[in-house]
Amino acid sequence: MKLIAINGSPRKKWNTALLLESAVEGAKSKGAETETVHLYDIDFKGCHSCFACKLISGKSYGKCAVKDGLTPLLEKISEADAFVIGSPVYYADVTGETRSFMERLFYPFMMYDKNYSSLFPKKIKTGFIYDMNQKEEMMKARGYEYFFEMNKTYMGKIFGSCEYITACNTYQFTDYSKYECSAFDPEAKKESRETQFPIDRQKAFELGASLVS
């Protein structure tokens, strides 16, 4: 079994990366081979709207025709047994880098037949990990879950199945006194970091294990 973990955060050692690290540990606990990729290390853009992936009998039918830094990752995903995407939440959805990646990943496999069938060659397990500075009640009140569920639907329809977890009220800075952030209570953030974030990492561990089981 091979799982690919995709970090859609610009940070390599903060909340998203740590949650993905736990997911990778969970996958390894089940004997899986893993690889972690940082999207912000890759030179690429979103979908070019060239429609080459939709051209019947075209050489790029069912795959992205654009050749750039993202091409090797797209090829690896086609060969993997599972993958998980991690992203902080910016304005109710994933980062722009992650969204551009999703465009390039999803679109070539989604057919324009009446059922919007998938051209992905097999059924695999997929997952999302979302982390955000908002508290859970605010996440629900602002309708973030609508976007999470939409992403889950696309992932499940194209690849086979999808699970997601959320980590709320995450720690943004190591020293809140250095930034204008009066919207947040530093002590409450610290408490959440110490008590809730380990629980979130355990959820990520269990997700990683589930994706390769």
Written as tens digits, the pLDDT of the chain (213 aa) is 999 999 999 999 999 999 999 999 999 999 999 999 999 999 999 999 999 999 998 899 999 999 999 999 999 999 999 999 999 999 888 999 999 999 999 999 999 999 999 999 999 999 999 999 989 999 999 999 999 999 999 999 999 999 999 999 998 888 888 989 888 888 888 888 899 999 999 999 999 999 999
- Burial degree of 211 (CB within 10 A; 0-12, 13-18, 19+): buried
CATH number for position 41: 3.40.50.360
Which of 129-161 are b and which e, b meaning 16 or more Cβ less than 10 Å from the residue's Cβ?
A: bbbbbbeeeebeeeebeeebeebbebbbbbbee
pTM over 0.85, yes/no: yes
The boundaries of the domain holding residue 173 are 2-211
Q: Of 179, 20, 33, 186, which is closest to residue 88 (Cα–Cα)?
A: 20
Question: Residue type at 119?
Answer: L
Could you give the number of structural domains in the chain? 1
DSSP-derived secondary structure letter, 182: T
Distance from C-alpha of 172 to C-alpha of 189, rounded to nearest angstrom: 9
